[in-house]
Structure 1
Amino acid sequence: MYGGGGFMKRERFLFLVAAVCGGGALALELTASRLLAPVFGTSMIVWSAIIGSTLVDLTAGYWFGGWLADRRPEEGLLYRLMTVAAVLTGIIPFLAHPILQWGWRATNRLAVGGVVGAFFVLLLLFALPVALLGAVSPFVLRLVIPAVTSAGRTAGKLSAVATLGSLVGALLPALVLVPLFGTRHTFLVVALVVIALAVWGFLRLSRQKAAALSATLGLLLALGYLPLRHIPIIAYEKAIYETESVYNYIQVVERGRGSGKGVFLRLNESKNDHSVYRPNRTFTYQVWDYAAITPMLTPDFDPVEHPISRVALIGGAAGTMARILTRVYGPVPIDHVEIDPKVIEVARKYFGLTEKNIHVHNEDGRAFLARSHERYDVVLVDAYQIPYIPFHLTTTE
């Protein structure tokens, strides 16, 4: 079993298992942030809950994996653990909505409600799958150590491979999976990859029945996701469009009648509108209208002798302020800076952000100002997600 090239082939496969499951645990952590965003937001407090709960889950998983491997060092048992972890991962989106709503209602009146609610929601949804994925590395270590004399070298190699897998798992959700498939289907992708590896492992052990059972569970998970394509993440009867980005869960909502009819932009957990567009109106009769008076507050402003020459709008969202300034002051050059490329797409499609004087920049507002050589009469900062402003846009270091 452990001799010659056969052992090396088995060892490489088990190292692959450790890498994939380590990556899967980190992928769940990163994707959890998008799952929580529509309810709890994306603040540092929420991220603290995500990281803390993940560490708790992995701690339990490492202990359990080592304990179980010492008592039953069976390769087939490892693949059964992976199958269970994959199934629990795959059902997270089906359980998420009621648990998220319960967590919010139970804690939203507490001063620390965000962190407490997010932490307990994460434990309910993610504790078992993340712990079982964490149990894989110590289990693999027990299976691949041929002798005590090489234990250190083998443990080091396994740790390196598992960490490399975790690195891939940390990058894939943000760069590939969530932008391509959305949050809910990212869980399916992770589940199917882990199940596929378990099926491969069973087949290597010539356990066709176990492989068939794992493959069937994976197929059932995939079929169960088909109806989710038509179910919004946040149900709103007036929503005409929804999408996800690396930064936000985005909804476009239609409200009003006649000349008051318009579209409104909603992001993440916010119950407020981030932008509004009524084609036949200049003003919104809401906070965005204050943009029209900001040039008048500059020391040398004169509509004839010293009109404004350039405006920077940081956190422009779908362009409500930029359009108001354009209609009031004419085609003054406006640098509209928005970090989320999906919000920019939505702004152009639904909110009429097509004026030629509005120059749209897809980047972080502070980074844009740091590299810009332009001089502005007015700099408006409208970058926030209720109830907080990105801290690096409020400091002077």
Structure 2
Amino acid sequence: MSSPPSDVEAPPASSAPPAPATALALPNGLAAFLVFFSSGAVLVLETVALRLVGPYVGVTLQVTSSVIGIALAAIAYGAWSGGWLADRRDPRTMLAPALVLAGIATAITLPVVRYAGEVLRGGAASAILLLVALAVFVPAALLAAVTPLVVKLQLADLRRTGQVVGRLSGIGTLGGITATLLTGFVLVAALPTTVILLSLAIALGVAGIGLGWYLRRQARTELPGPARTRAALAVLGLIGAGLTTVAPNPCDIETAYHCARVAVDPMRPTGRTLLLNSAEHSYVDLTDPKHLEYAYTKWIGAVADVTAPAGQRLDALHLGGGGFTVPRYLTATRPGTDNVVFEIDGGLVELGERELGVRPGPDLRAVVGDARMLVAGQPTDSRDLVVGDAFGHLVVPWHLATREMAAEIRRVTRPGGVYVQNVIDYPPLRFIRAELATVAAEFAHVALIAPPQALAEQQGANFVIVGSDAPLPLDAIGTRLSEVDPQVAMLPGAELTDFVGAAMVLTDDFAPVDQLLATA
């Protein structure tokens, strides 16, 4: 006899009680910490990598793009591999080793990059990519594997998959954001790269060892591999940390922006060369501020010498301080000159005062900050001479090379005043042509000073652009140039127009400086 149909409807599947949490799952707080910490560690590595490779390959758009691209590739492959392994082995046996191995890889990164950097120094795109990969890929990939391992453990109830994945993904993103801001605003300004990397390596190792102890205690599992393997890993980490202490260090000090070193000139005991990211940037004579070693500083000095009658004071604005060579020259040759220097790197100002004979006072005021922002706050028609000598490695920062910046400089320059800008370029000279077109779009009279071989596209060199709203004293400048550097050439008027050709004018909307500098 069949039973009568029931009048009570079965409850919907969604109202069924949730499945009990599996014993494999980690406590929510621990899972959140592991994802937050590992994701943040990747971004610390990415941020510090720029400072680590900068002394060898510069800090250019290509280098920055390489760091971002390699880091993203490491994250992608690490997450993919971590997810693949999580489906084949117990994730609890792999979490602690991943953190410990990431710590070891981080400790080894610094000596590996410093030794390899000496070989790959100044190389092409392939050298940049290889050096960045050595700095970032392995530890970042290991750390990226942590999140899918944790996610696998937390998926106790398939009906909450979206919630679990979304929450842990959000926590990982917050970890990356926190680490990026903390590293950029605090760590880099307070600690050397060596200390940051070794501290991160220790933190990862301690976290991995602590996690391994916790998991063994909670679930009675062991890290894979015999004790000898774990001992070997510990020894490897110690070797990596030890190599860091003997690896070649290209820096005397690390500022917020540069790896800086001051070298004594063996041919001139009072001469000092300032190297930033291993590239020569400035030369000063501690006892003779009138001495100008580099050709381009002689050209700038020659323009300054004819800007006003001999010995007459000037109101000068300098965009970029470096070794403060030109401000010291102006003070020595034109007593009473008011030099205001905009230098983005406060560490260089301190280094100049300590080792390069920079003496702030009524004739020299250094203002720390971005020149683009600071120029906007200068009074109109307030300067007789503006000197543009700001570089990020060997590249003029793009926002200082645009027509909008040139317009601000023209506004600050007095009628009849002069703007001189130092530019570095290489054949086929696309950037210097574009920058000349940009300056000429704002200043009525422009000339170019450069070596003849560079103008013939036979070599890379410094170029000095001279601009003014009033006709330039070309004869006087040419005479003075012949006295300080008989080999240099000057292009004014029609010659300059022919040289510039149809070069683009750089604007805030479109200023591909790094691409223009790339050799064909």
TM-score (norm 1): 0.85
Which of 156, 180, 183 aligns to 2:166? It is: 156
Following superposition, the deviation at residue 150 of structure 1 comes to 0.8
- Once residues 373 and 229 of structure 1 are traced to their aligned partners in structure 2, the CA distance between those partners, rounded to angstroms, is 50
| Corresponding residue SS for 1:388 | coil
Equivalence for 1:290: 299
Bigger shift: 182-191 or 202-211? 202-211
Equivalence for 1:238: none
| Corresponding residue SS for 1:342 | helix
Residues 286-338 of structure 1 deviation map (CA, whole Å, 9 limit, x = unaligned): 3323343334554xx3458xx44411011111211110000011122111111
Equivalence for 1:200: 210
Following superposition, the deviation at residue 153 of structure 1 comes to 1.0
* C-alpha contact 2:55 2:277 (8 A) present in aligned 1: yes
Change (3 A) 1:376 1:215: farther
- Once residues 330 and 65 of structure 2 are traced to their aligned partners in structure 1, the CA distance between those partners, rounded to angstroms, is 39
Following superposition, the deviation at residue 12 of structure 1 comes to 1.0
Give ranges in structure 1 of 5+ residues lacking alignment: 235-240
Which of 18, 29, 39 aligns to 2:46? It is: 29
Equivalence for 1:337: 342
Question: 1:113-192 residue pairs with structure 2 within 5 A?
Answer: 113=124, 115-192=125-202
- Once residues 282 and 83 of structure 2 are traced to their aligned partners in structure 1, the CA distance between those partners, rounded to angstroms, is 49
- Once residues 75 and 201 of structure 1 are traced to their aligned partners in structure 2, the CA distance between those partners, rounded to angstroms, is 9
* C-alpha contact 2:297 2:326 (8 A) present in aligned 1: yes
Bigger shift: 132-141 or 384-393? 384-393
Q: Kindly indicate which of the two structures has a greater share of residues assigned to strand.
A: 2
1:367 paired with 2:383, answer: no
1:376 paired with 2:383, answer: yes
Larger-Rg structure: 2
Equivalence for 1:62: 79
Following superposition, the deviation at residue 348 of structure 1 comes to 0.3
Change (3 A) 1:199 1:228: closer
- Once residues 235 and 159 of structure 2 are traced to their aligned partners in structure 1, the CA distance between those partners, rounded to angstroms, is 43
Amino acid of the structure 2 residue aligned with 1:266: L
Residues 184-217 of structure 1 deviation map (CA, whole Å, 9 limit, x = unaligned): 2322111111122212212222359859997996
Following superposition, the deviation at residue 86 of structure 1 comes to 1.3
Change (3 A) 1:219 1:162: farther
Which of 381, 396, 413 aligns to 1:389? It is: 396
Bigger shift: 216-225 or 153-162? 216-225
Which of 270, 283, 304 aligns to 1:261? It is: 270
Identity of aligned residues (%): 25
Amino acid of the structure 2 residue aligned with 1:233: N
- Once residues 238 and 385 of structure 2 are traced to their aligned partners in structure 1, the CA distance between those partners, rounded to angstroms, is 52
Question: 1:208-357 residue pairs with structure 2 within 5 A?
Answer: 221=237, 225=241, 228-229=244-245, 232-234=248-250, 242-257=252-267, 261-270=270-279, 272-286=280-294, 287-296=296-305, 298=307, 301-302=308-309, 307-356=312-361, 357=363
Give ranges in structure 2 of 5+ residues lacking alignment: 1-18, 405-520
Bigger shift: 373-382 or 224-233? 224-233
Amino acid of the structure 1 residue aligned with 2:202: L
Following superposition, the deviation at residue 148 of structure 1 comes to 1.1
* C-alpha contact 1:195 1:215 (8 A) present in aligned 2: no
* C-alpha contact 2:53 2:113 (8 A) present in aligned 1: no
Larger RCO, structures 1/2 (Cα 8 Å, 6+ apart)? 1
Residues 241-300 of structure 1 deviation map (CA, whole Å, 9 limit, x = unaligned): 711122100001011356x53221100041x242323313522243323343334554xx
* C-alpha contact 2:321 2:389 (8 A) present in aligned 1: yes
* C-alpha contact 1:39 1:100 (8 A) present in aligned 2: yes
* C-alpha contact 2:192 2:254 (8 A) present in aligned 1: yes
* C-alpha contact 1:311 1:379 (8 A) present in aligned 2: yes
Equivalence for 1:237: none
Amino acid of the structure 2 residue aligned with 1:91: I
- Once residues 223 and 98 of structure 1 are traced to their aligned partners in structure 2, the CA distance between those partners, rounded to angstroms, is 15
Residues 16-75 of structure 1 deviation map (CA, whole Å, 9 limit, x = unaligned): 011111011111111111111011100001111111111111111111011111111331
Equivalence for 2:114: 97
